[in-house]
Structures are given as C-alpha cells and as structure tokens.
Amino acid sequence: MPSKWRKSKSKPIKSRMMKAMTAGTETVKDIIGGTPTEVMSKIGIAAVVALWQNFQVMGAAVLGFFILLAVDALFGAILARRRGDAFDAKKFFVGPLIKIALTVAMFLCTTIVDTMLPQAAWIPDSPLFYGAAAFISVSQLLDVAKKYGTLSGSKVANWIEAKLGTFVKIDPK
C-alpha cells in the first residue's frame, strides 16, 4: 500500500476524533458555561458545598466529642498535677488537637461513604457515621469516667465504668 493512501486515510480519523472532542467540549461548556476559570471556580464551589453538607451531618457529633475531649484533657491535667508531674502545655493542647483532627477525618470519611450507600428503606440514614460516632463517643466517655472516678473516688463512676467497660476494654498503658 502506498504511504500516501495511509496518510490520507488517517487524516479523516483524526479530524473525526477532533470534531467529537470539540463537540464534547462545547457540550460541557454549554452545560456548565463560562471560561475555564469560571468552570474551575464552579467545580470548587460545588466541592465546598458537598463538604459543607457533610460537615452539617457531623456537627453535633463533633461538638459532643470536642466537649468530652476538653473535659478529658482537664481531668488528665488535674491527675498529672496530683501525681506531681509538671504541666506540659504541648501534651495539654497538641494531644487533644490531634485527637479531634483524626476524629473529624474519620467522621468525614464515614459521611462520604454513607452517601454512596444505596437508598433502601431498610438502611437507616448514615449508618456508618452514627456507628462510628457512637463507638468514638463511648470510648471517650469511658476515658472521662475513669479519670472522674480516680479524681472523685466515686463508687458510682467506677460502677458505670465497670458496666460500660464490659463492652469496650481500655488497656491502661
């Protein structure tokens, strides 16, 4: 086969592909509209809106966890002072911040995965998120109850910790 024929045969294929790509680009441009900068800003705004919706679902759980974490840090500092340890600002502030960042990341991942679950009547809304929130909150509550029982010497707090501790074991290391 002559090389001329191959070249001329490939030209129409390229032009058809280019026409299809141009038509696809024009269709997307017509749907979304605007310059590339406007399109990118619209995509960014859509991502922020999706993230905000997930944060709205997470809000109460994160607030509850944050309150438990603040009380836990305060009780931990009081216990450290009673043991005679010096106040360590890094441990007091950075430790809880790392815990809250990891917890928020876990909550965000579960809310995103929950949006991917099929819509079925027998699946409750956000089952993974609420399961993770319950587990994390109970674990943090056990930690707070243990420190409260140590600080106050309360038999009720120790009893609650013992009863809840049958579900979640915390290794005192």
Q: With bands split at pLDDT 50, 70 and 90, how would you rate the model's confidence at 13?
A: low
Per the structure, the count of domains in the chain is 1
Tell me, letter by letter, the H, E, C secondary structure of the chain.
CCHHHHHHHHHHHHHHHHHHHHHHHHHHHHHHCCCHHHHHHHHHHHHHHHHHHHHHHHHHHHHHHHHHHHHHHHHHHHHHHHHCCCCCHHHHHHHHHHHHHHHHHHHHHHHHHHHHCCCCCCCCCCHHHHHHHHHHHHHHHHHHHHHHHHHHCCHHHHHHHHHHCCCCCCCCC
Domain that holds residue 155: 58-164
* Segment 55-85, tens digit of pLDDT: 776 777 778 888 888 899 899 888 888 888 8
In a domain, 155, yes or no: yes
**In terms of pTM, does the model score above 0.75?**
no
Is pLDDT of 44 > 60?
yes
In a domain, 18, yes or no: no
* Segment 86-139, tens digit of pLDDT: 888 888 888 888 888 888 888 888 888 887 777 766 666 778 888 888 888 888
